[in-house]
Structure 1
Amino acid sequence: MATIRERRDAQGKKSYHVQIRLKGFPPQTKSFDSKTIAKQWAAHVEAELRAGRYMQRVEAERHTVGELLEKYRNEVLTPHKPERVRDQGLILNWWESKLGVYSLAELSPALIGACRDELAATPVGKDKPRAPATVVRYLATLSHVLSVAVKEWQWLEESPMPKVSKPRVSNERVRHLTDEERKRLIKAAGESANTYLHAIVIIAISTGMRYGELMNLRWRDITLAEADRYALIVLERTKNGERRGLPVTGAALKEIRRLRAQYVRTHQGRTNLNALLFASESDPDKPVQIRKAWDTTLKRARIENFRFHDLRHTTASYLAMGGATAPEIAEILGHKDLKMVKRYAHFGKDHIAKVLTRMSEARFGTDIELESAQPLPDAT
């Protein structure tokens, strides 16, 4: 219940002191110059307390966006990989410069939307427009921060981010190697000064692994038996945080066996399971740098508009052409969402056509006698 007491200061000015005592909640107090406003505040707070909303708003008023970002940086971001800490740290710094002084209670969709528009309008370098995907990445980072504040720390009742629209991103790039390009690339990679590049390209195309997954492979991640027709790569840490197993066959398996034999020869017949497959000569615990060798290989192979990540698109495209289903492609690539693999659907149309042909032939036969059909009615 609320209690309102009239008070006077030394100059005789009136004020109204409100105290709300409700079982299960700490006392709430506040003073007003107007008794009417004091009553309205008391009624509103009592209703909010009973609904379970008031304490969360008080908590939101107690903390600033800057405090939230700092807590997120220290408790959520720091345990991750250094490159993630670096990249997301820059994004957190930007949000802190724009919103850090506001309390969480003041954080609104309109305020975030204004920052979004400012970011989108700020060019990169010399008048180069900022990509919509970059803006989406900034919004996604802040969205996760606010989600943690709601679910784990209870600093907010709800996140304002669902009400903030995101710019449309058209980045469904599906550049893949044609058969001729693939042959030229593998040949040029085999002639590269980087002795690992040929194996890296073969394994990348054969498995669809991301660059980071592939370059950080260690021998402990691979189950390799001489009698088996395939090896098994187990990726403990992937982009989406899930463990993933990948069978390796054919040319990729041959390259892995060759790398294993070469490693054993140069290490007195022993294999250090913690060693990287593609280790740098200067620092064996870091992957070899292939950027220069990769660019040179693309030029020698006469392949344009192609990135290393497009080898992953190549794998997915080849799988679709071979009749793999969307769930199968998603499992191999490690996608949680089938929407990510829909971009490759058109590569599987030949397979779908064959399926429909088999169904049609089974139900209607290979030769349909059209003349046996009933004549169509006269259109006139």
Structure 2
Amino acid sequence: MSVLKKEKGVYEVRWREGGRHKSAKVHGSDELAKKVERKKLSLRDENRHLDVRKEVNYSMSDLIDRYWLHYGSKKASADREKSIVEGIRAELGRMFVREVDGVDVQRWYENLTGKRGLAENTAVRHFNVMHHLMKKASTIWSKETGLERNPADMVEVRRPDDSRERFLSKEELERLKVALDEKMFRKGTKDLNQTNLRMRLIVLIAVSTGMRSSEVHRLRWSDVLYREELIAVRAKLKKGKERYVPMTSELAEEIRRCPAVIGEDRIFPPTRGDKSGRQRLEGSFEDVLTRARIRNFWFHDLRHTFASWYMMNGGDLYELAKLLGHSNIKMTERYAKLGRAHITKTGTTAKVLWSMMESKPVEQGAVQVGKFA
């Protein structure tokens, strides 16, 4: 607690309450400012006495449990988000919610790319979960938590350049295919590894259709329309829209060969155990990339690979926007420079790659997507 003289006849009273720094301006004399200071201290102690049970009992761990019950577990990305909230619990779980300030959240965020060594894109995803968590704590649950403002609003986040356009070359695609086939079999045997078999199919679907990882994981057997050679993407989009993406006969055959799980209508149902299906996929995919000698590549870049080769094959930007499920054409314009004019620069590479891909028409005006399987 302190009283600072700002200018003639103006004082600033500062104090800490509920883990937060607060201040108030007082116009008048030094004596009046000290009187206000005593009053604020008295009110703080009184509030602390009245809310002692709330302060002690509502920890960050309690908040995480409540958030997970009402929000996290219902998200399409629940598998991935579970590991994120548990990471928050490990670092801040013992703190009272009302005591968490911007400094605490900033330190937690810095540790993501520091001690934990996460990529900046991954750290941003973790931060977005933290921000949503603390937003609920400071709004609809503020009476229980005692939190008045979202401390995550004060954090400086390093957001990577979203214009990153890493996609696979013809040679990298060929090496990826070989590595996927090798990974499919158990070491030293001719037996199929079911986990790697599914991972291989997930990769083939993603690179052949441009679907997002979350969309592939939510696919149901009924979404595969063999007769029409289409896949229905019924993922939870912002406005509940659905779209259809072309499927080659080779990809359809790959999906047919995928073993179904009894009692499950999803093609890739969640796995049980310490690691989620997404985590297992990421680990296996990283191993495949290492085998294929492919660097600086993420799973989402398979989507960029599809979009980039689509445009280099003379695709239409507006049709691509529909295939990718972009709500705004501006999101798709990043691929515009890879249009017909770019074919002369890529030369033989584009022609050779697309000669490997069998194409079949889907609808009028739609450019065919290729065979990768």
State TM-score, norm by structure 2.
Answer: 0.54
Choose the corresponding residue for 1:74, options 62, 69, 72. 69
Q: How many equivalent pairs are there?
A: 278
User: SS of the counterpart of 1:246?
Assistant: strand
Summarize the Cα distance change of 1:108–1:304 in structure 2 as closer, same or farther, 3 Å threshold: closer
Summarize the Cα distance change of 1:290–1:113 in structure 2 as closer, same or farther, 3 Å threshold: closer
Choose the corresponding residue for 1:304, options 294, 305, 318. 294
Post-superposition CA distance 1:15-71 (Å, at most 9, x none) = xxxxxxxxxxxxxxxxxxx99549977xx9xxxxxxxxxx9xx99995555243342
Choose the corresponding residue for 1:244, options 242, 266, 276. 242
Structure 1 gaps of 5+ residues are 1-33, 45-54, 281-285, 354-380
User: SS of the counterpart of 2:71?
Assistant: helix
User: SS of the counterpart of 2:85?
Assistant: helix
Summarize the Cα distance change of 1:235–1:210 in structure 2 as closer, same or farther, 3 Å threshold: same
Contact 2:102 2:151 in 1 (8 A): yes
Tell me which residue corresponds to 1:373. Answer: none
Post-superposition CA distance 1:53-91 (Å, at most 9, x none) = xx9xx9999555524334223332234466235312323
Bigger Rg over Cα: 1
Contact 1:72 1:145 in 2 (8 A): yes
Identity in percent: 25
Give the partner amino acid of 2:244. Answer: L
Summarize the Cα distance change of 1:248–1:274 in structure 2 as closer, same or farther, 3 Å threshold: farther
Post-superposition CA distance 1:193-224 (Å, at most 9, x none) = 45777765543222112345335533112233
Tell me the distance in 1 between the aligned counterparts of 2:154 and 2:332. Answer: 28
Give the partner amino acid of 2:71. Answer: V
Choose the corresponding residue for 1:113, options 82, 106, 112. 106
User: SS of the counterpart of 2:69?
Assistant: helix
Contact 1:222 1:234 in 2 (8 A): no
**Within-5 A mapping of 1:283-302:** 295=287, 299=291
Tell me the distance in 2 between the aligned counterparts of 1:202 and 1:97. Answer: 40
Contact 1:233 1:246 in 2 (8 A): yes
Contact 1:222 1:231 in 2 (8 A): yes
Summarize the Cα distance change of 1:87–1:243 in structure 2 as closer, same or farther, 3 Å threshold: farther
Give the partner amino acid of 1:137. Answer: R
Give the partner amino acid of 1:132. Answer: E
**Within-5 A mapping of 1:310-329:** 310-321=301-312, 322-325=314-317, 328-329=319-320
How far the C-alpha of 1:181 sits from its partner, in A, is 3.8
Tell me the distance in 1 between the aligned counterparts of 2:54 and 2:121. Answer: 33
Give the partner amino acid of 1:218. Answer: R
Tell me the distance in 2 between the aligned counterparts of 1:290 and 1:133. Answer: 15
Summarize the Cα distance change of 1:150–1:329 in structure 2 as closer, same or farther, 3 Å threshold: farther
Contact 1:186 1:201 in 2 (8 A): no
User: SS of the counterpart of 1:247?
Assistant: strand
Contact 2:215 2:235 in 1 (8 A): no
Tell me which residue corresponds to 1:167. Answer: 158
Give the partner amino acid of 2:168. Answer: L
Tell me which residue corresponds to 1:376. Answer: none
Choose the corresponding residue for 1:96, options 89, 92, 95. 92
Tell me the distance in 1 between the aligned counterparts of 2:167 and 2:211. Answer: 15
Post-superposition CA distance 1:236-258 (Å, at most 9, x none) = 457x7955322224xx2443156
Tell me the distance in 2 between the aligned counterparts of 1:188 and 1:245. Answer: 31
How far the C-alpha of 1:337 sits from its partner, in A, is 6.7
| Structure 1 position 235 matched with structure 2 position 234 | yes
Give the partner amino acid of 2:216. Answer: L
Post-superposition CA distance 1:161-216 (Å, at most 9, x none) = 33321124357543322234435545775686457777655432221123453355
How far the C-alpha of 1:291 sits from its partner, in A, is 6.8
Structure 2 gaps of 5+ residues are 1-32, 186-191, 271-276, 345-373
Give the partner amino acid of 2:245. Answer: P
User: SS of the counterpart of 1:78?
Assistant: helix
How far the C-alpha of 1:349 sits from its partner, in A, is 7.5
Tell me the distance in 1 between the aligned counterparts of 2:285 and 2:151. Answer: 46
Give the partner amino acid of 1:175. Answer: R
Summarize the Cα distance change of 1:303–1:244 in structure 2 as closer, same or farther, 3 Å threshold: farther
Structure with more contact order per residue of length (Cα contacts < 8 Å, sep ≥ 6)? 2
